[in-house]
Amino acid sequence: MNIYKKIINKIVSFFEYIAVFCLAAMVVAVIIQVVGRYVFRNTPGWSEEMARQFMVIFSFIGIAIGVREKIHIALTFFTDGLLHKIRLPIEIFGKALIATLGIMMSVNMSLLFERLRYNRLPGSGIPVLWVYAIPTAIGVIIALICVYQIYDHFKFGTDEEQALKLKGLKESKEAEAALKVEELQREDL
């Protein structure tokens, strides 16, 4: 499962680079639109359209990153007061719902992808299929992320327990590193 996690995390990291590019391109498109409107009194027809498309792509990639980092909206108000035995199944059920959402998003976007593949955006002339390709891929990635998170729930427990174990591992690694530094300093003396 570690190889599976690494592959999915590499794919999401690749999409993070795409998100950074989309953010930068969106800023450039908006600047071109504003300068064109207020300086030249004429805006390019593609600028608003491309800024919107970059924002949509950036948003969908942000959804996948939020699911991976577990920073999405959750109803912890209900689960915080529950017993540990009930909390774990509820978290697993929540991850299964998110995976289902990813699959549904991918299936529905792929239907649009197929139906509108010959259409083009009016301002830029870019095929509409590119608009639906990224959300289709992101839906699959969200489902794949949820698969390993559900596996982690069965193996390591709730999200809170996983965070505590990870914190303990980091602290033990930091302690080992500090001991090694002390040993090297003693050897130098």
Are residues 180 and 133 part of one domain?
no
pLDDT of residue 119: 86
Are residues 46 and 80 part of one domain?
yes
Please write the tens of the pLDDT for every residue from 88-115: 888 889 899 999 999 999 999 888 877 8
Are residues 183 and 110 part of one domain?
no
Query: What kind and span of H or E run contains 17?
Result: helix 2-38
- 3-class DSSP state for residue 100? helix
35: containing domain:
2-157
Please write the tens of the pLDDT for every residue from 24-61: 999 999 999 999 988 888 888 888 899 999 999 999 99
Identify the bridge partners of residue 127 per DSSP, sorted by sequence position. Answer: 120
Residue 183, pLDDT > 90, answer: no
Closest CA to 67 of 36, 98, 29, 107: 98
DSSP conformation letters of 35-62 = HHHHTSS---TTHHHHHHHHHHHHHHHH
Are residues 42 and 64 part of one domain?
yes
Are residues 170 and 125 part of one domain?
no
Mean pLDDT on 53-81: 83
Are residues 177 and 115 part of one domain?
no
Q: Left, alpha or beta for 19 (phi > 0: left; psi -120 to 50: alpha)?
A: alpha
- Domain count for the chain, please give it: 2
